[in-house]
Amino acid sequence: MKTVIVVGNGMVGYKFCEKFVSKVDQASFKLIVFGEEPRVAYDRVHLSEYFENGDAERLSMAPREWYQENNIELYINERVTDIHRNSKTITTLSEKTFNYDYLVLATGSSPFVPQINGVDKEGVFVYRTIEDLEDTLAYADKIKKTVEKPKAAILGGGLLGLEAAKAVMDMGMEPHVVEFAPKLMPRQLDTRSSKVLQVKLESMGINIHLSKATNQILGNGHVIGMEFGEDDVLNVDMLVISAGIRPRDELGKSCGLKMGTRGGIVVDNKMRTSDPNIFAIGEIALYNQMIYGLVAPGYEMAGVAVDQILGMEETVMAAEIDMSTKLKLIGVDVASFGIPFMPAEKGHSIIFENKTESLYKRINVSHDGKRLLGGILVGDAQDYNMLLQMYLNEMPLPKNPENLILGSRGGQDMSFGSAMDLPDTAVICSCEAVTKGQICCSVKDDGNESVKAISKATKATTGCGGCKPMVDDLVKETLKSLGKVIKESICEHFEYSRQELYDIVKLRKIEDYNSLLDEVGKGHGCEVCKPAVASIFASIYNETANRQATIQDTNDRYLANIQRNGTYSVVPRVAAGEITPKQLLAIGKIAQKYDLYTKITGGQRIDMFGAQLHELPLIWEELIAEGFETGQAYGKSLRTVKSCVGSTWCRYGMDESVTFAIDIENRYKGIRSPHKIKGGVSGCIRECAEARNKDFGFIAVEGGWNVYICGNGGANPQHAQLLAEKVDKITATKYVDRFLMYYIQTAPPLTRTAAWLDKLDGGIDYVKDVVINDCLGIADQLDSEMQYLVDTYKCEWKEAVENPEIRARYTHFVNAEDTDDTIEFVSLREQKMPKAWV
């Protein structure tokens, strides 16, 4: 039996163990591992996540038991101090001695701390281990108690420095990045992209100081500032140094292994050091005269060392190592691959820059225009994976390579093919070296049909996670090529899409959630399927949210929008925003009586905030007495139809937009849909009502109304598209009736009209075909279904206040009359607001 000793239980040392035990017969080898840190190997790459959850366990590469299960003798908190090559033994700090047949050095590196006067002051930290982070956090907490707006500097504007800057910002300190070079991420970015990134980071509150050489660190005992030149001082309360790494090669040096001139243990392509029984892998290994500070090459080295020890001599390290990187976490996309910048004689560059949107894209193309040599992406790195693959696999470039960064502008010449066009050998997950071929086979042959299953079977996506989108594409595309449809079931309780469920409910005339679950579902339901089914019932039977209250989303259940402190807001309908002075007075009086915060909404009505649960029926009773109805601001339903004053008052108006808007709002009020719907009506093309960012909009033009559909504001704004031109009001209404009904019946849950249209095969032309040309022959049916909804409208708040049983739901406690005494308000500009979260 041979003994292999691994020094260092970091990411690469762990990977060595994992690969080793998976290949070796346990009787022939003994594996002993030493780690200096107080815990088992963890995922350093995701170190910053430790802040968000403070849970060190989650970062572990494998739990302690894993080592036991695999017969690995693990000594943590134990530093190896000497190697005796003659006797093939090592000794540890606690003076234990062990024999080895093979020794694997995986001691990684430590942060480089430049010799600046004062670096030893209190408040100066590095960023590499969990303990570093804990110390930094503790100090930041202490500082925050004494200093009002504490500042922290990060020395070094590289990849890690920027990550650290985000981290100190999240700790509640004002971050200042200090970089010696005249640009950020000097190894990955050119000057222009650095500039774009700088502007973007500054807008996020990260201050950048370039071309700064730090002379000394100021402070008496603890850091209070940094001095660059005579009068150039930056006051800071804490300093994190992130100025590069130095290999932890002290063991190699003391036992006389061949070293690089600037450190690192020299290895050949078999990961062997100058002593054939000693290997070095990870950030300590100097391969091709380089230290590779990334996990992917480290993992590859681990694999090579395992195979070499097991006698598979043909496994060697690739001659060229890819150093492409993508910045994670910081909230702005930054990536660079291949040769990011280069002199003009090597090739030419295509550069796109949009300063106002903080976008910069650069690709470097060979002179013959056939190969991609590298590039930089700032602001939008969506295409990083695809570009990287084109570069790595030397794939032929499209005729107009600029399309790769600009997108194809018109025409059919798609810039990117799909991930399926990659060669089978393309490495998709570089951390775990998983190829496209392996992923597709795993889908086809082993039935791993989800990213989750693939990641379990092949380990792809388990490293940095950057390849996830591409793995997802590959899984979907492979399934498609097998003729499998990807089932869009709404959740684990119903194996149907919303559209299928809609048809089932309608055909079988099912009226209760429980019966639907019994007939076609399984289990007992959840917060995803309940409101989805509730919405289907509402769309088919026009049932209000009161009958099956507990399957409604919380807002619908209490017919009000829950707000920050668990109180609710109240919004009566003000169709098209037209309101009489008398109604205004009534709202004012009621809001005053119940001490509600009032604000005009974006949908031209009045929102009253801060009502407690038990007050809701009281407030609504008064509103209803004044002639108001529910505004359904809480529902996935018609919200408002916004209008401009149109020809009634406006000198440009072509038609009466207010009248039309009122009619339309009253027509569709109360209709529930997969997501909220909003409308708009403008009196002329000046478009003051912003009808073109609504789900449906009408604009008066010479000769009639233009009808637009599927515009959305919100998180992903999209302009509405033209459905019909110059039609009269009746026709315009009919088209929108049909469109809405068709959308209601076919959209997935919680999908707004713009997203629905994006996914619809045939797009707007298809909608026109259905709605105007009746290509499906369902127009009459859509008409009558819509008419049914219009005819059966009732105000659900009126129903609620008049029915004692429903009214009884509005109490905070079931066993006491008391109200919730934890609700606290503070005053704000003569009104009130919830007390801030702690």
Partner 1 sequence: MISILNTYEAVETEKVSLWFKAAPVQKFPENGGACVKYKGMQIAVFNFTREGTWYACQNLCPHKMEMVLSRGMIGEDQGEPKVACPLHKNSFSLKTGMHLNGDLNSIATYPVKIENDFVYIGFSE
Backbone angles phi, psi at 680, to 5 degrees: -155, 150
Residue showing tokens 């009558």: 784
Selection from 447, 530, 512 nearest residue 482 by Cα: 447
C-beta closer to ligand FAD: residue 51 or 416: 51
- Letters for 24-63 (x = contact with ligand FAD by CB under 6 A, - = none) are ----------xxxx------xx-x----------------
Residue 688 within binding range of ligand SF4, rule CB under 6 A: yes
The encoded tokens of residue 759 equal: 């996914």
Residue 468 within binding range of ligand FAD, rule CB under 6 A: no
- Contact partner, 294, from ligand FAD, partner 1, ligand SF4, none, Cβ < 5-8 Å per class: ligand FAD
Residue 401 within binding range of ligand FAD, rule CB under 6 A: no
Selection from 794, 531, 512 nearest residue 673 by Cα: 531
C-beta closer to ligand FAD: residue 296 or 741: 296
Strand runs labelled E in 527-676: 561-562, 568-570, 597-600, 606-611, 638-643
- CA–CA separation, 173 vs 218, rounded Å? 19
**Encoded amino acid at 692, one letter:** R
C-beta closer to ligand FAD: residue 106 or 744: 106
Contacts (CB under 6 A) with ligand FAD, residues 145-184? 160, 163
Shortest distance in whole angstroms from residue 170 CB to ligand FAD: 13
- Contact partner, 553, from ligand FAD, ligand SF4, partner 1, none, Cβ < 5-8 Å per class: partner 1
Sign of CA dihedral 748, 753, 754, 756: positive
Residue 645 within binding range of ligand SF4, rule CB under 6 A: yes
Residue 715 within binding range of partner 1, rule CB under 8 A: no
Residue 492 within binding range of partner 1, rule CB under 8 A: yes
Instruction: Give the interface segment with ligand FAD, choosing from 5-13, 511-519, 659-667, 808-816 (CB under 6 A).
Output: 5-13
Residues 6+ apart with CB under 8 A from 226: 153, 155, 178, 214, 216, 217, 218, 233, 234, 236, 239
Residue 307 within binding range of ligand FAD, rule CB under 6 A: no
Residue 837 within binding range of partner 1, rule CB under 8 A: yes
**Encoded amino acid at 344, one letter:** A
Backbone angles phi, psi at 316, to 5 degrees: -130, 165
With beta carbons less than 8 A apart as the criterion, state whether 85 and 278 touch: yes
- Contact partner, 557, from ligand SF4, ligand FAD, partner 1, none, Cβ < 5-8 Å per class: partner 1
Residues 6+ apart with CB under 8 A from 316: 269, 270, 304
Residues 6+ apart with CB under 8 A from 15: 61, 298, 299, 302, 303
Among 553, 607, 655, 656, binds partner 1 (CB under 8 A): 553
Shortest distance in whole angstroms from residue 601 CB to ligand SF4: 9
Residue 273 within binding range of ligand FAD, rule CB under 6 A: no
Among 18, 179, 237, 283, binds ligand FAD (CB under 6 A): 283
Shortest distance in whole angstroms from residue 170 CB to ligand SF4: 20
- Letters for 58-97 (x = contact with ligand FAD by CB under 6 A, - = none) are ---------------------xx-----------------
Residue 717 within binding range of ligand SF4, rule CB under 6 A: no
What are 830's strand-pairing partners?
none
- Letters for 247-266 (x = contact with ligand FAD by CB under 6 A, - = none) are -x--x---------------
- CA–CA separation, 178 vs 637, rounded Å? 51
**Encoded amino acid at 241, one letter:** I
How far is C-alpha 43 from the geometric centre of its chain's CA atoms?
20
First-to-last alpha carbon distance for the chain, in angstroms, is 60
Contacts (CB under 6 A) with ligand FAD, residues 100-119? 106-108
Among 111, 298, 646, 697, binds ligand SF4 (CB under 6 A): 646
How far is C-alpha 324 from the geometric centre of its chain's CA atoms?
21
> For the residues of 264-293, what is the DSSP string, one character each?
SEE--TT-B-SSTTEEE-GGGEEBTTB---
Residue 569 within binding range of ligand SF4, rule CB under 6 A: no
Selection from 87, 105, 512, 30 nearest residue 285 by Cα: 105
Strand runs labelled E in 677-739: 677-682, 696-701, 704-709, 721-727
HEC-encoded secondary structure of 119-160: CCCECEEECCCHHHHHHHHHHHHHHHHHCCCCEEEEECCCHH
Residue 128 within binding range of ligand FAD, rule CB under 6 A: yes
- CA–CA separation, 307 vs 319, rounded Å? 17
Among 53, 216, 716, 803, binds partner 1 (CB under 8 A): 53
By the 10 Å C-beta count (0-12 exposed, 13-18 middle, 19+ buried), 457 is classed as: middle
**CA–CA distances in Å: residue 705 to residues 656, 721, 732:** 11, 14, 7
- Contact partner, 818, from partner 1, ligand FAD, ligand SF4, none, Cβ < 5-8 Å per class: partner 1
Instruction: Give the interface segment with ligand SF4, choosing from 14-22, 446-454, 651-659, 742-750 (CB under 6 A).
Output: 651-659
C-beta closer to ligand FAD: residue 107 or 657: 107
- CA–CA separation, 264 vs 283, rounded Å? 8
What are 376's strand-pairing partners?
336, 362
Backbone angles phi, psi at 396, to 5 degrees: -65, 145
Q: 255 labelled as ligand-binding?
A: no
Shortest distance in whole angstroms from residue 646 CB to ligand SF4: 5
Residue 55 within binding range of partner 1, rule CB under 8 A: yes
User: What's the number of CA atoms in the CB half-sphere (13 Å) around residue 376?
Assistant: 26
Residue 537 within binding range of partner 1, rule CB under 8 A: no
Among 126, 470, 551, 654, binds partner 1 (CB under 8 A): 551
Residue 652 within binding range of ligand SF4, rule CB under 6 A: yes
Residue 255 within binding range of partner 1, rule CB under 8 A: no
Helix axes 581-593, 616-625, angle to 10 degrees: 160
Instruction: Give the interface segment with ligand SF4, choosing from 126-134, 190-198, 501-509, 640-648 (CB under 6 A).
Output: 640-648
Residue 139 within binding range of ligand FAD, rule CB under 6 A: no
C-beta closer to ligand FAD: residue 284 or 571: 284
Residue 610 within binding range of partner 1, rule CB under 8 A: no
Instruction: Give the interface segment with ligand FAD, choosing from 252-260, 292-300, 336-344, 719-727 (CB under 6 A).
Output: 292-300
Torsion of CA 247, 251, 256, 258, to 10 degrees: -20
Residue 8 within binding range of ligand FAD, rule CB under 6 A: yes
Instruction: Give the interface segment with ligand FAD, choosing from 11-19, 416-424, 692-700, 761-769 (CB under 6 A).
Output: 11-19
Radius of gyration of the chain (CA): 33
Residue/partner pairs of 91-94 with CB below 8 Å, 24 or more apart:
92/34
Shortest distance in whole angstroms from residue 43 CB to ligand FAD: 8
Shortest distance in whole angstroms from residue 49 CB to ligand FAD: 10
Sign of CA dihedral 185, 187, 193, 194: positive
- Contact partner, 674, from ligand SF4, partner 1, ligand FAD, none, Cβ < 5-8 Å per class: none
Q: 650 labelled as ligand-binding?
A: yes
Shortest distance in whole angstroms from residue 725 CB to ligand SF4: 17
Q: Reduced to 3 states, what is the DSSP secondary structure of residue 483?
A: coil
Rule CB under 6 A: which residues touch ligand FAD?
A: 7-13, 34-37, 44-45, 47, 79-80, 106-108, 127-128, 160, 163, 248, 251, 282-283, 293-296, 298, 328, 464
Name the site residues for partner 1 (rule: CB under 8 A).
53, 55, 58, 492-493, 514, 517, 523-531, 549-551, 553-555, 557-558, 562, 564-566, 809, 812-816, 818, 820, 822-823, 837-838
Binding site residue list for [4Fe-4S] cluster = 644, 650, 684, 688
Known binding-site positions for siroheme: 688
Q: Which parts of this chain interact with ligand SF4 (CB under 6 A)?
A: 644-646, 650, 652-653, 657, 682-684, 686-688
